[in-house]
């Protein structure tokens, strides 16, 4: 993986998220990367309830010394049907593996997430990268209510779905898509330039215990990040049989930060929004490359060791300079 020199000025970035352990890692990775300027964090229902994902986002930013980044709360529920269950069994009841981070001095932005995002996009002098690493409800609402703002997205990097690996919450569905299939169908049917970072590339990308130890040794922020990861480590061992943590969201952020990290192919993708066993499945047409205006750049290959080293190196550097 070749990391180009930092751009000047840095690429404007928004993270839409439901922290979540791996979401917390992704936020920290963005803050550790000089190539991007994190302008806004928007929160959504998902791993835990919206008030908790919002509080977690505030606290993770504060942990890294970046309480100046605004946090706006978004959709508390899916577009049509309520999300069947949260993921407390994976991320802990508060979403951060049972670790209690210090409260942030910052208040939540009073604007709804979709309003804050639309205003940022319309005011930005250049296109903005949006990384959506929770359920995509906020992005679907943006497309429906502020299409002129959505057109200002330079690149939409989505964590979710699966082309050939099946699901991780059901046999068919990956969690973020399963949490709101109707939103996912709307987002993947848009003409916004989109990269889909799914289980095909995230499952092989594992942060092992040696990498976690390197982050922990770098300073107090690293030690806290390593503590947050402990519950997730136990879950991934039992669920995936891995020797470390599957860094779903951090890999999507790596692609947002360094475009071209992942090998992608333009594919047509539809989402199963029926109420049967296939609900939430992303049906990726891998028979041919697509030239449709709604085609998605589906991530199909990854240099996992390089991606993990990028994550560990950045997190360790951040931990050495904060706190």
Active site residues: 248
Is 293 in contact with 281 (CB distance < 8 Å)? Answer: no
Place of tokens 């699966």: 162
Place of tokens 């577009």: 79
Is 37 in contact with 8 (CB distance < 8 Å)? Answer: no
Q: How far apart are CA 156 and CA 248, in angstroms?
A: 16
Within 10 angstroms of residue 272's Cβ, the number of other Cβ atoms is 20
3-state DSSP call for residue 158?
strand
3-state DSSP call for residue 278?
coil
- Asked whether the CA dihedral 235, 237, 240, 243 is positive or negative, the reply is positive
Is 78 in contact with 279 (CB distance < 8 Å)? Answer: no
Q: How far apart are CA 116 and CA 281, in angstroms?
A: 30
DSSP letters spanning 242-274? -SEEE-HHHHHHHHHHSTTSSEEEEEEEEE--S
């Amino acid at each position: 993986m070749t990391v180009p020199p930092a751009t000047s000025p840095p690429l404007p970035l928004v993270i839409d998220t439901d922290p979540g352990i791996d979401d917390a890692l992704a936020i920290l990775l963005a803050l550790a990367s000089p190539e991007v300027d994190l302008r806004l964090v928007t929160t959504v229902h998902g791993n835990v309830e919206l008030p908790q994902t919002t509080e977690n986002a505030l606290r993770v930013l504060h942990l890294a010394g970046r309480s100046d980044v605004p946090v706006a709360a978004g959709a508390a529920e899916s577009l049509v049907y309520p999300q069947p269950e949260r993921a407390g069994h994976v991320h802990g009841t508060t979403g951060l593996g049972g670790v209690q981070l210090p409260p942030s001095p910052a208040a939540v932005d009073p604007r709804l997430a979709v309003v804050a995002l639309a205003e940022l996009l319309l005011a930005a002098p250049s296109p903005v990268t949006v990384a959506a690493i929770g359920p995509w409800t906020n992005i679907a609402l943006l497309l429906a209510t502020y299409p002129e703002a959505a057109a200002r997205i330079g690149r939409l990097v989505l964590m979710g779905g699966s082309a050939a690996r099946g699901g991780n919450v059901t046999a068919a569905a990956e969690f973020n898509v399963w949490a709101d299939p109707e939103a996912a169908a709307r987002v993947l049917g848009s003409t916004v330039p989109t990269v889909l970072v799914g289980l095909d590339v995230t499952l092989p990308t594992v942060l092992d215990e040696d990498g976690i130890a390197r982050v922990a040794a770098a300073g107090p922020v690293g030690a806290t990040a390593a503590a947050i990861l402990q519950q997730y480590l136990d879950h991934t061992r039992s669920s995936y049989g891995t020797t470390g943590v599957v860094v779903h969201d951090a890999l999507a952020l790596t692609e947002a930060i360094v475009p071209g990290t992942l090998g992608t192919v333009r594919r047509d993708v539809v989402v199963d929004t029926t109420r049967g066993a296939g609900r939430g499945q992303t049906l990726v047409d891998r028979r041919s490359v697509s030239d449709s205006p709604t085609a998605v750049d589906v991530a199909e290959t990854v240099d996992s060791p390089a991606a993990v080293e990028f994550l560990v190196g950045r997190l360790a550097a951040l931990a050495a300079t904060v706190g």
